[in-house]
Amino acid sequence: MKIKRMPIKDPDNVNWIVIIYLFILTSLGSLASYCYHVLNGDKFRVGTLVAQIFISTFAGALVVLAASYFNWAFEFAGGIAGLAGWSGATLIKALEERLIKKAKGDEQ
């Protein structure tokens, strides 16, 4: 069986300004989500905030990879990055469950 290799984009052609912009939007989504929870009665904890930012940054990194792969428009990628920052762990968990189903062959 021959393994099909995915092309790796040339790092010299990466638009770093767009990537930084997407991570800023991801961070804003993360902070907005945390502030929303605090406004709804959760206690402010620095450790929880830092954890939220790390998780959301990972979700944002996945969005950057998807945006690059699918050639998403700048505005669309920015919106999705903000939503990834907002949803954080929920997005990661949903992607994980879908990947596991696909690996098991349960997905139709």
pLDDT in tens, 50-76: 999 999 989 988 888 888 888 888 889
3-state secondary structure at position 9 = coil
Higher-confidence residue of 44 and 106: namely 44
3-state secondary structure at position 4 = coil
Q: Alpha-carbon dihedral of residues 83, 86, 87, 91, nearest 10 degrees?
A: 50
Residues 1-38: tens digit of each pLDDT: 555 555 556 666 778 888 888 889 999 999 999 999 99
How is residue 13 annotated by DSSP? G
What pLDDT, on a 0 to 100 scale, did the predictor assign at position 51? Answer: 92
What pLDDT, on a 0 to 100 scale, did the predictor assign at position 12? Answer: 67
